[in-house]
Structure formats: structure tokens, C-alpha cells
Copies of this chain bind each other. A is one copy, B any other.
């Protein structure tokens, strides 16, 4: 039995990938929620750095061209409940997380659902919304309840689209063992993940927070959001500077969010003895690092796959309290009809764009 808020239309406006490189706003059928799923009226969907890549080249196991609706950072209102949904009600304001594990592989059973062994296998119950099944560049989207989070009253849907971005940073922090009380933390890369990492470090107990990057405008936003020191790596010897700022010890923790080989290399260089590095970025090519330093300096590193540990739920109390602020990162919003303009603004960083939100 399906419980619906009001009359749901049969057709909706959506942005469909009709061919590689070609995202087209068109009309498609409104999807139906099934067992443990809800239908969401999408009100905002943020563009993620992977979205342009998906548009260009698709993604492993993506839905067929002509049917595939990308978009994975969305929020809206629950309008229909599928079977066996008791934890949500019609009218709930919600944001989604992209990953939903199959629930039956050893990784999922043990809680590591972002590394589900049935990745991309929709039949087996896995979902990667906006990647291997349809997502949020549309008026409506269907999500399994394991991928849906209620948002507090004082958080807007636009802000809520950033819980996935925040979750990527937080999962990295969780996996590396948290922030040690008072330790010096370097956040490398002032993109949207990095700017969330700065805020997380600040509220999770870091001592000095150092943000490194190449764009002064973003570094200044980082400063406003909590970084104690910013280093423009084009203007300074970042390794030397980090050691100076840390009494010659180096960074206790590095949150590498830049995702470039150079940033990864440098992260190793300025980490302290017994220090830790969370690699959170996406590295497009092999990276050459000083592995011997990692051994000789007793360093721990992790890679962290997306926003695991259901940590989006952990971010909501922070947003509610105003400890994590998403608004300063949202530089632009566009209607769904103007999604191409939105992508262009995002990709070319027009007007210093950071996060661009599409409003279906």
C-alpha cells in the first residue's frame, strides 16, 4: 500500500543524460516508491565535483542513456511512502545520502556499506543514487529509507544538500581515529569538502587549524569558517611554513581534500612523527610519495570511501546548532531549466563559485 500526501503527477521535469556529454531537461515518469522506499519532492540538488565527470563519461553501471537522471546531493519533502516505512511520515523534510548498501554482503553486514561488494547491482539491493540509479536532478526522486535523513527545522533544504559533502570530510576524520585534543590539523584544499573539514576540525577539538590552497578567495572563506592560519602554496614553501607553525613538529593530522598528486605528496612531507593523514580526495592518477618517511616517522594513513558510517546523521546536530555552516559555501542557485548554466558556473568557477545548487 502506498500512502501519498496529495495527488502526485505522472510526469515530471528532469535532467536526463541522453548521451555522454549531453544532459537534457525533459519530461519523464515520476518514479514509484517500493518496499522501504519513499518518494521525495526534490527542492534542491547541489552539483558535486563528480557530476561533470558523470555527464561527460557516465559511471560504472549507470542506468541506460536516455533514462539516467544524475544528481546525488539533494533534499526535499517526503510525499509518498512505500511499503513498510514507519520511520518517516508524509511531509517530513529530508536530505539524502547517495550510498545505500545491498545489506547482505559481508561489508554491509559489518556496517561498511560504502564499500558494498554488490556495488552497482540494483537487483541485489545496492543503490548509488545519481550514479548507478536515478538521482535528484528532477522534480521527484525515490530513495530507500537507509539513504534518507530528516533535517532540523532551522536548516534549509539548500543547506541540507551539503550534508553529503560534509559527510565525506567527517567519514575521513572518523576513519583516521578522530581529532586528537588540541592537535595541529592541516586541511589541504579549500574546496567544499575542505571547507567543511575546517569547520569539523574546529568543533571536534583541533588546536591550530591550518588551511592550505591556491586560491586566496577560498582561503579567506576558510579563515572566516575557522582556520587559524591559511597558506597559499603558490606563494610560500608550504612544508617549511607548516613546520614553523607547529613548533617544528609538523602536523599531527592532515585532512587531504585537494585530491591532487602534489597535495598528497606534500601532505606526507609536513606530517609530524606519529602523525596521521586522511586521504579524502579523488586522485585521478598514481601518486608518488615518500613512503620511507611514513615508515620512519610512524605515520598512519587512511583512504575513506564517501560518507560512510551513516555519518550524515551525525552532522545534523551540528547543523542544527549552527556549528557547521553550509550557507557560506552556496554561491549560486539555478532553476532546473538552467542546469547547464549551473554546471558551467560550477566547472569554470565563475564568480568564485563553490557550491552551485539546482532548484527543481
Contact = CB atoms under 8 A, between A and B. Distances in A.
A286 B295 contact: no
Interface in A281-321: 281-284, 286-305, 308-311, 313-318, 321
B175 A204 contact: no
Contact of A174 (B125, B181, B313): B181
B308 A124 contact: no
Interface in A151-193: 170, 173-175, 177-183
Interface string A309-352: 11101111110010000000000000000000000000000000
Contact of A304 (B178, B261, B295, B308): B295
A151 to B, nearest CB: 14
Interface stretch (A25-33, A74-82, A105-113): A105-113
Nearest to A205: B204
Interface in A111-156: 111-115, 117, 123-125, 145-146
A163 to B, nearest CB: 11
A181 B170 contact: yes
Nearest to A112: B274
Contacts of A300: 175, 300-303
Contact of A297 (B109, B283, B298, B305): B305
Interface string A192-208: 00000000100111011
A19 B146 CA distance: 39
A175 B302 CA distance: 13
B117 A104 contact: no
A87 B115 contact: no
Contacts of A315: 181-182
A49 to B, nearest CB: 13
B316 A291 contact: no
Contacts of A36: 104
Contacts of A115: 273-274, 297-298
A236 interface: no
A259 to B, nearest CB: 9
Contact of A314 (B109, B182, B281): B182
Nearest to A288: B288
B282 A112 contact: no
B111 A109 contact: yes
A300 B112 CA distance: 13
Contacts of A261: 291
30 contacts: A84-B123, A86-B124, A103-B103, A109-B113, A109-B310, A112-B274, A115-B298, A117-B249, A170-B181, A173-B181, A179-B204, A181-B204, A181-B311, A181-B315, A182-B314, A182-B315, A203-B203, A205-B205, A208-B317, A261-B291, A280-B295, A281-B295, A283-B292, A289-B291, A291-B303, A295-B303, A296-B305, A298-B304, A299-B303, A300-B302
Interface of A: 36, 84, 86-87, 103-104, 106-107, 109-115, 117, 123-125, 145-146, 170, 173-175, 177-183, 200, 203-205, 207-208, 249, 261, 264, 273-274, 279-284, 286-305, 308-311, 313-318, 321
- Give the top 9 A-B pairs by smallest Cβ distance, nearest first: A111-B111, A207-B317, A294-B303, A295-B303, A204-B205, A182-B314, A115-B273, A287-B291, A182-B317
